[in-house]
Amino acid sequence: MDRLATIEIKAFVPARDYALSRRFYADIGFEEKSEGDGVAYFAAGECSFLLQDFYRPGHADNFVMHLLVADVDAWHQHLRNERIVERYDIRLDEPEDRPWRMRDFCMTDPSGVLWRIAQNLGGRPLADG
């Protein structure tokens, strides 16, 4: 066995209002697998993160998560169908094809954490417009 083998990496996502953020992440499609001592473990498929009952504006305002999905438009429609913007007063941009061969959109969580939700488009980088 490789003693330096890696298993997993998870980010600790800050939460200004821990209870509100827990509801938000459950509502957008993550499953809360465990919670204790101000840390909740969330997962969707093979992707996971730790939500922490910790908040500093400078930290949250500069925190970015990148979620790679199979169908970015389906994710965006799911968030629209769930009325996430209206329920949580968050930012939700429209999906766009990017020059780096991804289709993505940005969303903020209730604490101001930026999420880029993306789908690989494959192929060569798009030419400059």
Which pTM value belongs to this model?
Answer: 0.91
Fold of 12-120: 2,3-Dihydroxybiphenyl 1,2-Dioxygenase; domain 1 (3.10.180)
What pLDDT was estimated at residue 41?
98
CA distances (Å), origin 23, targets 6, 31, 82: 31, 10, 13
- What are the residue ranges spanned by the domains of the chain? 12-120
Q: Are 72 and 105 in contact (CB under 8 A)?
A: yes
Per-residue pLDDT averaged across 73-92, rounded?
A: 98
Per-residue pLDDT at 122 exceeds 90: no
Looking at every residue in the chain, the average pLDDT score rounds to 94
Owner of token pair 């498929």:
45
Question: Cβ(64)–Cβ(77) under 8 Å?
Answer: no
